[in-house]
Structures are given as C-alpha cells and as structure tokens.
Structure 1
Amino acid sequence: MNTATLKLDTLTCPSCMLKIEAAARNVPGVDQDTVHVSFANSKVTFRFDEDLTDAQTVAHAIEKVGYPVLSTRTAAQR
C-alpha cells in the first residue's frame, strides 16, 4: 500500500468534501476507510493498492467532479 496526498484548489464549502471523498472512494484500489479531506488545508489523503491504481487516477476522478488538483505526493508504506 502507498499513501498519497493531493493538494486541491481552495475549497469553498464543506459539502465539497463529500463529493471529493466519494470520487476518491469510488476508484478501485483505494482503501475507502483511509480517505480524508481536510477542508482547512484543501488536501486529500488516502492509501491505495499500487497494483490496482495510482494517485494520478484518483486525481483525475476528483477533477472529473469539478475540483482541480494542484499537486500530488506519494509515499510507499513499509
């Protein structure tokens, strides 16, 4: 499993968090229980199975629902 942090454009409403969480959780390979959206920091963190998906795929899913992703950082778990 890897961990990713996506920096988003500034979030303007708390309901945005629900749409972003749903988009990330619907990507096969994302550990649904680890998806966390920080409204204050405009970031999404999650764990994912690198054999099934990657951070860019999750970023694309979030962008499809209307939230620009500014940067992506991935770290391998030991």
Structure 2
Amino acid sequence: MTTIYIDPKKKTDQIVKLSDGSFGVMKPEKQKAGMAYRFNFTSHQHPGFIMTHTPVNGDVENVDSIDGKQSFKIAWRS
C-alpha cells in the first residue's frame, strides 16, 4: 500500500508526496454531485484516479488499473 501525504489546510491544487518517494498532484474539481479530487502521479507505476469525496486522514482508496489493483492510504502532512 502506498501512502499519499496531503496538506488538509490547502484547498487548491497541491503537490503531494507518496511514501515511495515519488510525487503527484491533487486537483480539486467541481462536479454535479459536489467536489471531487483528481490525483495524477509523476511515476508511471501509479495510476491516476478521481476521489469523489473529500480526502479523510486514514482513508484507503482501491484503484483498478491495467497493472492490477493498487491501494492508496491518505495521510495528513504536517
């Protein structure tokens, strides 16, 4: 499981760090059902995904990709 470290105080686009040392970007997006959060990563070993709810410390997101299932844990960055 890979942990994504997020600054919970930042409500705009932010660079996120992953537990394996790679980086990505989290972008909040307005959608019909409310806010969603798009994650894209610089490393091709991690698939991008959309979270349709506000990130919560400790949540685990399971993502299916062509390389199989990956799990991402959300953790607050201090």
Q: TM-score with structure 1 length normalisation? A: 0.31
**Higher RCO (CA < 8 A, seq sep 6+):** 1
Rg larger in structure: 2
Larger proportion of strand: 2
